[in-house]
Structure 1
Amino acid sequence: MPRPIRRQALVTKPIVTDVAVIGAGLIGAGAALALRRAGFQVVLVDRDVAGAKASGVNFGGVRRQGRGLAQLPLAQRAHRIWPRLRELIGTDGEYVRSGHLKVARTTADLDALRAYKERTAAFDLGLEIIEGREFRRRFPAFGPDIIGGSFCPEDGQANPRLVAPAYGHAAARAGARLLQGGRVLGASALGERFLIDIEGGTQVVADYVVNAAGSWGGEVAAWFGDRVPLVVKFPTMAVTEPLPPLVSVSIGVEGGGFYGRQVARGNVVMGGGFGDALPDDRSRPGRPAMDALARNAPQVLPALARAHIIRFWSGREGYFADKNPAVGFSPHAPRLLHAFGFSGAGFQISPAVGEMLAEMIRGLPCPEYTNAFAVDRFATAPPATGDTA
């Protein structure tokens, strides 16, 4: 059953709309924009400002390489959207198809990359395995421990601090009502509709609700009886001072531990490991993660050994063990549509997910959807928690 509303003194009459979207990050704002383009009335609600949470503070990798097979149809659809950002949201978000290189430290790593290339052959990612002298010729900046890698030439990178808020503002320009700075306190059924209570006294009545609440998505889902094993983690990232050109591609490491990219200004954005929770839903970089990043970065790119790090930061993200998000209609509350838990890899596929959510509400076929995303795949799962393990 939906969570009872925590009643407050009303400041205004309820806002009546077709769709209420909880969360104005990339997923929620993308859905709001697509719904407005389809003629729906939309209210977009965020506890902070549009794009301020995980959508706006993530690493900025726009990659298909490394995703599970279930996500690749969405990733391919998003790949066609990214070059159109300027016409969709008014900025290109510094998006470039720089290429994505997933590097290997051992022959076993290279074998794993070759196996991934074979498994994903039907998706035509253009993967190229490079090793030995050819790898050194093309990528001389890497350390001696890196023996090769898998290169996806059309993957790339963008600036999340530009892209994420731009989606929210584009939805507002298209006619969505953007309510910022108020937490959703609860929701309840109102006949066949939903009544949503927002901090400060605002209420929204909607035919449909989209739960795009990010790391809080599990809590919202639990209000309606949808219990999912979402784990909240806090990715730790850093950026260096501007450096001479080192590498033009976005970098990942087979087996994890480090990811990085150098932007046009010369700064190297990088990450690895997780931080810690703070009161009031905030987070900070973790000391162990910062220490590990300081060790790992020069092993991948030796020039980073003497680089000054000018800022560390952390975001807040929801993770599922299978790395797939929870996307789809609630099995307990008709017209409630979930989309959260993108496990640190939602940035690239977000534009396609937003469009797909709008199509699901419209009752259109969604060929990119798979049961691997279904909310009820966690039928026996415990309630969502805020554990950082």
Structure 2
Amino acid sequence: MDAIVLGGGLMGAASAFFLARRGIRVTLIERNRVGSAATVASFGNIRRSGRYIPQLPLAHRSLALWGQAEAMLGRDVEFRATGHLRLVFSQEGLAAMRSFVKEARPWGLELEELTAGEVRSRFSGLGPDAIAASFSPNDGSGNPRLIAPAFAHAARKLGADIVENVGIGAIRKSAYGFQVETSKGSHEASMLLNTTGAWGTRVASLFAETVPIVAKGPQMGVTEPLPYRILPVVGVWAHDHGGGYLRQVERGNIVFGGGAERTDVSLDTGYAKADPTRLPGQLRSLLPILPALKNVAVIRTWSGCEGYVEDGLPVMGRSSTTPGLFHAFGFSGHGFQLGPGVGDVMAEIMATGKTDIPLQDFRIERFAKPN
């Protein structure tokens, strides 16, 4: 068996690694550098709270792989299980949190509910006006700049061919399976995995499959260093205060996102740029979470091209039209935590034809027009 993985973000690089680990000859093709699009734009959040409930088995599997990443890949990808704190500032947020906690419990996720007093005593300086919070101690964060290259490097050591910085030409069904033309030559394999992110529908449309997806750029930033005291990743429930989130890295800098509208991105270039006019409002939305940001300098902002599917859920699984074609794209800004699990599950499906992870809600045929 052999496979081409098209797209070298976290999903593609992880898939290439797990395919190679299963003994499948794999070629990973990326038009830029591995990990240079949506992955590098990520905040680095590894969370299970607030997810689409049937996605939790995939999230659990992925979290276990994050915990094994350093030993598995031979590199520290800065996974830190510092916990995930999600603050509540409104009655709407409280209802959303309690509803999720109840629904998630049968799916194997136990969240601790904290009172306002417990938030202030355990996490000094965070959310002084929060009325409650949830805490997931085993979640945390990872480094978006390290994880995809680490998977690609480990895949190469297992025999995978990693092709970067190439123009992509024709992608077609061939007598053997699939053929991908690039500026550095042609590649053929019996299976093709489409992990091209916001460009996923362009590839799918070549095989008569259409997905309503738009390209957007998140507004991300990082501050100057502060004294290191914030261990968990911090977010909010019910989009309180614009849905901002932040974490502090070990060097002291605060990495932040949310609280600002995403920018439009042209797929012709894939170039996403942070909008400086949105930064003041974004910072104001973060102050209820961390008042210490009031007089801190922002030293860098950035963005990246992410694919947002119309219903907010990814496309993952077999093609509905073409045997040997598989999809894993459109993770709508919440794919970072899922990345290792997606790669493992896609490799499992491609190698064995099955998986026990529920994927029915992510099938591409949900967008097929009725006859």
Question: TM-score if structure 2 supplies the norm length?
Answer: 0.94
Deviations 1:229-266 (A, max 9, x none): 01111111000011013421101111232011011111
Contact 2:15–2:343 (8 Å) recurs in 1:
yes
Matches within 5 A, 1:1-389: 18-198=2-182, 200-256=183-239, 257-272=243-258, 273=260, 274-277=262-265, 280-380=269-369
Residue 192 of structure 1: how far off its partner (Å):
4.5
Contact 2:4–2:192 (8 Å) recurs in 1:
yes
Residue 276 of structure 1: how far off its partner (Å):
4.2
Residue 116 of structure 1: how far off its partner (Å):
0.5
SS at match of 1:218: helix
For residue 228 of structure 1, what is the amino acid of its counterpart? V
Residue 346 of structure 1: how far off its partner (Å):
0.8
Q: Distance in 1 between matches of 2:138 and 2:248?
A: 16
Deviations 1:157-211 (A, max 9, x none): 111111121111111121111110013222122124111111x251111100000
Q: Distance in 2 between matches of 1:320 and 1:238?
A: 24
SS at match of 2:265: strand
Q: Distance in 2 between matches of 1:86 and 1:120?
A: 28
Superposed CA RMSD in Å reads: 1.6
For residue 82 of structure 1, what is the amino acid of its counterpart? W
After superposing the two structures, state which structure 1 stretch, 279-288 or 355-364, moved more: 279-288
For residue 153 of structure 1, what is the amino acid of its counterpart? P
Contact 1:230–1:320 (8 Å) recurs in 2:
yes
Q: Distance in 2 between matches of 1:138 and 1:201?
A: 56
In structure 2, do the counterparts of structure 1 residues 365 and 201 end up closer, same or farther at CA, with 3 Å as the change threshold?
closer
Residue 54 of structure 1: how far off its partner (Å):
1.1
For residue 268 of structure 1, what is the amino acid of its counterpart? I
SS at match of 1:300: coil
Q: How many residues align?
A: 364
Contact 1:275–1:289 (8 Å) recurs in 2:
no
SS at match of 2:190: strand
Q: Distance in 2 between matches of 1:68 and 1:245?
A: 32
Query: Residue 387 of structure 1 aligns with which residue?
Result: none
SS at match of 1:164: helix
Q: Structure 1: any 5+ residue segments left out of the alignment?
A: 1-16, 382-389
Contact 1:34–1:355 (8 Å) recurs in 2:
yes
Identity of aligned residues (%): 38
Q: Distance in 1 between matches of 2:368 and 2:195?
A: 20
Deviations 1:73-128 (A, max 9, x none): 00011111111111221223111111101111112211210110000011332301
In structure 2, do the counterparts of structure 1 residues 358 and 102 end up closer, same or farther at CA, with 3 Å as the change threshold?
same
Residue 288 of structure 1: how far off its partner (Å):
4.8
Q: Distance in 2 between matches of 1:174 and 1:271?
A: 36
Q: Distance in 1 between matches of 2:20 and 2:128?
A: 52
Contact 2:247–2:256 (8 Å) recurs in 1:
yes
After superposing the two structures, state which structure 1 stretch, 275-284 or 150-159, moved more: 275-284
For residue 244 of structure 2, what is the amino acid of its counterpart? F
After superposing the two structures, state which structure 1 stretch, 211-220 or 364-373, moved more: 364-373
For residue 194 of structure 2, what is the amino acid of its counterpart? N
Q: Distance in 2 between matches of 1:123 and 1:92?
A: 30
Q: Distance in 2 between matches of 1:366 and 1:143?
A: 41
Query: Residue 9 of structure 1 aligns with which residue?
Result: none
Q: Structure 2: any 5+ residue segments left out of the alignment?
A: none
SS at match of 2:272: strand
Q: Distance in 2 between matches of 1:179 and 1:201?
A: 9
